[in-house]
């Protein structure tokens, strides 16, 4: 697992460059989401981490500790067809009117995420599969989740290790 500082630097420096490579015409290597759907999906995870969408504690999976160790606290990427059971399956209607707006909103959510935890460094927020996550765990999840979808669209090479 990367250090907190390395993860912060990824989102501050590398992620904006990688996000610019994503175009409306980008096609997924796997899955059914198009580029705009993917960005809106990734932004949703940041909204949860930011505390803008609060999941009830009753949504925590009974196997959260096991799932956290298996999927989150490792250097293995998220599986290609990883499905969060509380999210609707299949393509959802767009939240934003255009690809460019969706891209900007995702970038904005990343900034809000950093600000939120800068002001609340000891805060934890619920992830329905992994339980309560602290800032470093959320950073790691958001990194793995983002890399997973950047791999999905060929923006970063598909790998069996996250570093």
pLDDT per position as a tens digit, 26-77: 999 999 999 999 999 999 999 999 888 888 778 888 889 898 998 899 898 9
CATH of span 4-82+101-152: 1.20.120
Domain ranges for the chain:
4-82+101-152
* pLDDT at residue 121, rounded to an integer: 78
pLDDT per position as a tens digit, 93-144: 899 999 999 999 999 999 999 999 888 778 888 898 999 999 999 999 999 9
- Burial per residue of 83-114, b for 16 or more beta-carbon CB atoms within 10 angstroms, e otherwise: eeeeeeeeeeeeebeebeebbebbbebbebbb
Q: How confident is the model at residue 1 (pLDDT cuts 50, 70, 90)?
A: confident
């Amino acid at each position: 697992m990367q250090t907190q500082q390395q993860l912060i630097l990824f989102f501050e420096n590398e992620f904006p460059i990688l996000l610019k490579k994503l175009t409306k015409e980008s096609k997924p290597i796997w899955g059914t989401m198009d580029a705009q759907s993917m960005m809106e999906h990734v932004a949703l995870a940041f909204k949860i981490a930011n505390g803008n969408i609060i999941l009830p504690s009753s949504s925590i999976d009974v196997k959260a500790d096991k799932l956290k160790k298996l999927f989150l606290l490792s250097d293995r990427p998220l599986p290609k067809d990883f499905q969060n059971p509380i999210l609707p399956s299949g393509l959802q209607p767009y939240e934003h009117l255009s690809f460019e707006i969706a891209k900007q909103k995702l970038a904005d959510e990343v900034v809000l995420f950093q600000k939120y935890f800068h002001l609340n460094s000891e805060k934890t927020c619920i992830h329905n599969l992994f339980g309560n996550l602290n800032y470093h765990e959320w950073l790691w999840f958001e990194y793995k989740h983002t890399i997973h979808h950047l791999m999905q669209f060929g923006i970063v090479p598909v790998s069996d290790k996250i570093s």
